[in-house]
Structure 1
């Protein structure tokens, strides 16, 4: 990974502000007035200097010997401030966050006697920028199984440094943890999952304070990100592959129980079992078998499509399979229902609702990254995927 060179020498930026006022009064017969009193000049030094200073390190402002810092303000070219703290002895101030790439900064420092000094510097631009995609979307309402999920455009080698900047707050102190994985797309991904399903009504905010963080070989982050969402109705969809039934529970009470036919057992057409999460309600879509490695088995327009995995497992209307609803699994991997029943389920489920799929007629448990498969891990297994454990 290429790094921006750190200046070989620390250049001290010192600006003096002369404080004082003329002292009034008349002299004796010689007419000599009192000498004007001057405060000592305020001098500061900043660890970053010039216009191409290395980003990614905190800003440190120091006072000259014998002077005590009282307040320091570091402002970037967009008007934002770097928060920081003055040391107990008043000799220095350190920013809480690092300087970001490609940014000009102004420094103003005030000392205990009221004097002040200013300085300025700029950081070198990033040679490579990393970006990310957040889910769920801002101001959405989701089901109780929805994790926070971040997919990065470029690889993240400095996983611990990145994870430290991801701050989740909830309205009720929900316990959860981040976990790293490789997304189905092959990109680095980190999800935040509660220990248990969310409580209905929980409000969640993510502050990804990444501006100025080096992700490693994938480049620098040059902005912060935020998202917030609310947890909606408490719903769980239970799919039993062996009894060929789909049940929708709301607050623990059954509100729907419909016959269905899932994937044909014994091969690639079988369905996945495990706890998955409704990723999207896609409505009417074209499903083609070659996109999931099943040759030319089908090419259909499918109604009430509810995506469960990246690999192409859905719950949807499948009127062509009506002879098997409630009696046999004869689909190409999806959970099929009648038009009426699929519509009833589609209208009531929320993105983020967990689908708990059980039964022996399966080809295995859904993979962690095939959609949202983290609920198939124990709490300890999930926490072990954090870079900070």
Structure 2
């Protein structure tokens, strides 16, 4: 005759600490030995601040399974510590999200209890968004940085930067730097120590969902990836009034040009300006760049170099100055034929290395992609994690 069991098994007590406001429902398992409901594992909400990892703690036993999913069924992955008593999510709980947690624990009597609960994190007061460059699956020149412009202010730069993972195919050394975009918004650029090597593949994983920027919450992740093309550099000598295109070390075209008129606001910028976009035929109006009514015309083969309005483009009205004088409103002008040829050769990300005695200053890091005009040591100092 088998002995009668007179004591009930002790089940694990489980505490769930999350960044949320919660409503929970618990399953009451039947104790087959006693024929009456066993005490369910307790699920407790401890933290009401969004943007923190979800944690699950077992008391008097160990965790055997933890499953946390959002309303779309997407899992919030995590891991249990070596003792088997604490589980922590890999990611922060996102704001304005409802999660379902299913937790199984094993007590001292080796029996398991499963509890289920749901909880919701508070909706964000403000949502921050961003714009990424270069675009996904593009091929760019050797000077194009990874660039992120944020819609709302970023006062918690270190917290945001921690979530930005850059991977390169050849271990390229680089650093994030925080600057002000020409628009006045916060911007983070990742540039290599030197120009990219041709063929480098670059990816960015911005796992920002659930991160507080200080000016607003991110409610999604972002990603991009691009490939670096040929090593092409456009050298512009405004003193010699000549532009030279060098591709993979060889000169492929030399073009007579005219730069900005010496003296006053019509001078060109010097330093490294990175080709931002090939904009084709556009209207150029001097009033938009603070030069009064000096010009208002359609311009062909327009290649943007700065946000402040410096382009390389066709300027047939200035033909007599090409190769012998600077006589423009700040842009680098050339004949229709040469502009068409240059337009076909270059790609966004190609550096234009501009020199000249009668220029108005160096391209600033936020005026287009001017990070190359900052020393490597000074650029690394702009990282929030330096």
With structure 1 as the length reference, what TM-score do the two structures score? 0.88
The answer to whether residue 66 in structure 2 is matched with residue 106 in structure 1 is no
* Residue in 2 that maps onto 1:54: 49
1:45-73 Cα deviation digits (max 9, x unpaired): 35458xxx43111111111x221113312
- Is residue 318 of structure 2 the alignment partner of residue 321 of structure 1? yes
Match of 2:162 in 1: 164
Q: CA deviation at 1:361?
A: 2.1
Deviation at 1:120, TM superposition (A): 1.6
Could you say what the CA RMSD is over the residues aligned between the two structures, in angstroms? 2.5
User: Which of the numbers 356, 359, 366 marks the counterpart of 1:359?
Assistant: 356
How far off its partner does 1:96 sit? 2.0
- By how many angstroms is 1:202 displaced? 1.5
2:9 maps to none
Return the match for 1:300 from 278, 281, 297. 297
In the alignment, which residue of structure 1 is the partner of 2:12?
none
- C-alpha distance in 2 between matches for 1:359 and 1:219: 43
1:90 match:
84
Q: How does 1:189-200 map to 2 (within 5 A)?
A: 189-200=187-198
Deviation at 1:10, TM superposition (A): 10
Measure the CA separation in 2 of the matches of 1:19 and 1:249: 79
Q: Deviations over 1:265-289 (max 9, x none)?
A: 1221110000110000001111111
Could you tell me how far apart the structure 2 residues matched to 1:88 and 1:144 are? 46
Q: Secondary structure at 1:215's aligned position in 2?
A: coil
Residue in 1 aligned with 2:218? Answer: 221
Aligned partners of 2:195, 2:45: CA distance in 1, in Å? Answer: 47
CA distance, structure 1, for counterparts of residue 46 and residue 119 of structure 2: 7
SS at 1:365's partner residue? Answer: coil
Kept after mapping to 2: 8 A contact 1:269/1:331:
yes
Using the alignment, how far apart are the partners of 1:82 and 1:368 within structure 2? Answer: 38
- Which residue does the alignment assign to 1:174? 172
- Gap regions ≥5 residues in structure 2: 1-16
Q: Which residue does 2:63 correspond to in 1?
A: 69
Number of matched pairs:
366
Residue 280 of structure 2: aligned partner: 283
SS in 2 for 1:363: coil
Cα shift readout 1:155-178 (whole Å, capped 9, x = no counterpart): 111111111111111122211111
Post-superposition Cα deviations, 1:200-228, rounded to whole Å, max 9, x if no partner, equal: 11111111111111111x21111111111
Residue of structure 2 equivalent to 1:25 = none
Report the TM-score when normalising by structure 2.
Answer: 0.89
2:250 maps to what in 1? Answer: 253
Whole-angstrom distance in 1 between the partners of 2:24 and 2:57? 10
Contact 1:48 1:54 in 2 (8 A): no
Q: 1:71 to 1:173 in 2, by over 3 A?
A: farther
Distance 2:308 2:117 in 1: 56
Q: 1:32 maps to which residue? A: none
Q: In structure 2, the residue corresponding to 1:362 is in which secondary structure? A: coil
**Residues 221-243 of structure 1: CA distance to partner in whole angstroms, max 9, x if unpaired?**
11111111111222111111111
1:93-172 → structure 2 map (5 Å cutoff): 93-112=87-106, 114-172=112-170
8 Å CA contact 1:275–1:355 kept in 2: the answer is yes
| 1:120-174 deviation digits (Å, cap 9, x = unpaired) | 2111111111111111112211111111111111111111111111111112221
CA contact (8 A) 2:95 2:219 kept: yes
Q: What does residue 3 of structure 1 align with?
A: none
Q: What residue ranges of structure 1 are gaps of 5+ in the alignment?
A: 1-5, 22-34
